[in-house]
A and B are shown apart, each in its own frame.
Chain A
Amino acid sequence: MKKLLALLLAFAMIFAMAACGSQPAAGGDTAEKTWEDELGTKGLLRVGMAADYPPYESYDANGNVVGLDPDFAELMADYLGVELEIVPMSFDTIVSAVAAGTVDMGLSCFSYTEERAAAVLFTDTYMTSTQVCFASTQHGINSLEDLKGGLVAAGNGTTGYYLMEELAPTYGYDYQTSEIAIMAEALKAGTLQAGITEQCVADSYIAANPGDFKIIANDMTVEEIKAIANFNSPKLVEKINEFLADFVGSEAYDELLVKWFEQELE
């Protein structure tokens, strides 16, 4: 048994070392590379998304990922002149997947944080968002103060999760991780007292379930939403920033926001 464990630990170390190897790149190496060389597969932009986050990204009836971020990714791929592949994954694994090079970019309503910036490169901001706390209308929860002794949830690895962790001593609640779809259902049932998520996501769940949910705390943080890429892809990020500089604030950009946000709020 001891030998087996020793062997396993050895494997663990090899893997971990391999994982480190893929982080910050040698400067001289990237200098000659173009953004096209930085893609994992030539002519293909693979983008990781967590498709349970409407209106940013969710599945439609045919099983396609649709939303603001897929549209954005499509426009980026068009600008680069490459094919787009959307890779659905759970939100908490996207940063690791980008850092490991499993996908070229992550576009899943990522807020800029220093912790994330230590693991991946961020592009320029393409919009801003805030975190809100929402609850069921049925169980008498009207403010953060009402959460004392209750149970609150947020997605693993989201900025909402760390915010929730920070506020827990102040408001005296227990907290846990939860996927957003399970969270919404658990709020209705009374399994959870409140959930913390991005404002437009909360709005879309509220719009989809009329009368079931309400927001009990607004604007808990203000965050800059950016796309993320591997440290080995500075040229790709430059190219995406070129696109964003042209696109953000243009008429087409406004149309895109209206398409995904107004529709949800109607």
Chain B
Amino acid sequence: MNAIERILTPENLKFMLLGAKYSLLIAIFALIGGSVLGLLAAVAKMSKIKPARIIANIYVEVIRGTPMMLQILVLYLCGPVITKALFNFVFTPNPVLVGIIAIAINSGAYSSELFRSAIQSVDKGQWEAAQTIGLSYTQTMKEIIIPQAFKRILPPYINEFIVLIKDSSLLANIGAVELLHSAQVIGAKFYNYLVPLLCATVMYLVVTLFISFCARKLERRLAESD
């Protein structure tokens, strides 16, 4: 028993919970950032302006065609080089911040497809009906299409959130504070990886199972209103 007592001290548990908090925060901010990017990319992909379509396609294909770990490393190492070239100022990135940006960019590419398919899944007839009663494109989108698309998008969207919580663990490689990183630091300090890793397993599961549980409740409620 002594390994557990030695390693899972209140102090270390607090350290791991701090990591868990960061993992959750990283996932939340990346989800928000990714949604904005994804929505923009989805709209651009469906727009009539050709350059917008091309840019959105390049963005989605580049991000989906390369590993996330590579994107994180490139952003981590290139961030200061880019700011130096553009503004002649070296920006010292916080690894958590770089991580959020990298994951948001990655998530945006995947969620753009989510958004696009949800929007396109709304029946064409509704567009035509909206036009007949004289609604503009923006009005139609806002009042008619998006509310319906939202319901369809919810299950895969919550799934995306869970994926992001797990993907945030990749940031351990650039030294960002998050749950897996906390487990690795404690593992290295106490020369026992198993206990902190299993503790992190439980923490990840508590968070992700809780979210899926809420998602199921929410889905059921939305289904009732149909």
Residues of A whose CB lies within 8 Å of any CB of B are 1, 4-5, 8-9, 11-13, 15-17, 19-20, 23, 92-93, 95-96, 99-100, 115-116, 118-120, 139, 150-151, 153, 156-157, 161, 176-179, 182, 185-186, 189-191, 193
A182 in contact with B4 (CB, 8 Å): no
A-B CB contact pairs (8 Å), 20 listed: A1-B209, A8-B202, A12-B201, A16-B195, A19-B3, A20-B2, A95-B191, A96-B187, A96-B193, A100-B194, A115-B191, A116-B191, A119-B190, A119-B191, A119-B192, A157-B189, A178-B174, A189-B80, A190-B84, A191-B76
A179 in contact with B4 (CB, 8 Å): no
Residues of B within 8 A of A (CB-CB), count: 43
**Total of A-B residue pairs, C-beta within 8 Å:** 110
B150-192 CB contact bits vs A (8 Å, 1 = yes)?
A: 0000000000000000000000011111000100110111111
**Chain B residues closer than 8 Å to A176, beta-carbon distance:** 95, 174-177
A19-B201 Cα distance, complex, nearest whole Å: 17
**Chain A residues closer than 8 Å to B77, beta-carbon distance:** 182, 185-186, 189, 191
Knowing A19-B195, A156-B188, the reply to whether A179 touches B81 (Cβ < 8 A) is no
B78 in contact with A189 (CB, 8 Å): yes
B92 in contact with A191 (CB, 8 Å): yes
**Chain A residues closer than 8 Å to B174, beta-carbon distance:** 176, 178, 182
**Chain B residues closer than 8 Å to A92, beta-carbon distance:** 184, 187-188
A174-B206 Cα distance, complex, nearest whole Å: 31
A243-B195 Cα distance, complex, nearest whole Å: 36
A251-B202 Cα distance, complex, nearest whole Å: 54
Which chain A residue lies CB-closest to B91? Answer: A190
**Chain A residues closer than 8 Å to B181, beta-carbon distance:** 177
**Chain A residues closer than 8 Å to B206, beta-carbon distance:** 5
A8 in contact with B201 (CB, 8 Å): yes
B184 in contact with A156 (CB, 8 Å): yes
Knowing A12-B198, A12-B201, the reply to whether A115 touches B189 (Cβ < 8 A) is yes
**Chain B residues closer than 8 Å to A157, beta-carbon distance:** 187-189
Task: Flag whether B93 is at the interface (Cβ < 8 A).
Answer: yes
B201 in contact with A93 (CB, 8 Å): no
**Chain B residues closer than 8 Å to A1, beta-carbon distance:** 209, 213
Q: Determine how close the nearest CB of chain B comes to the CB of A165; give it in whole angstroms.
A: 10
A241-B93 Cα distance, complex, nearest whole Å: 47
A95-B187 Cα distance, complex, nearest whole Å: 10
A155-B197 Cα distance, complex, nearest whole Å: 19
B87-110 CB contact bits vs A (8 Å, 1 = yes)?
A: 000111111000000000000000
B185 in contact with A12 (CB, 8 Å): no
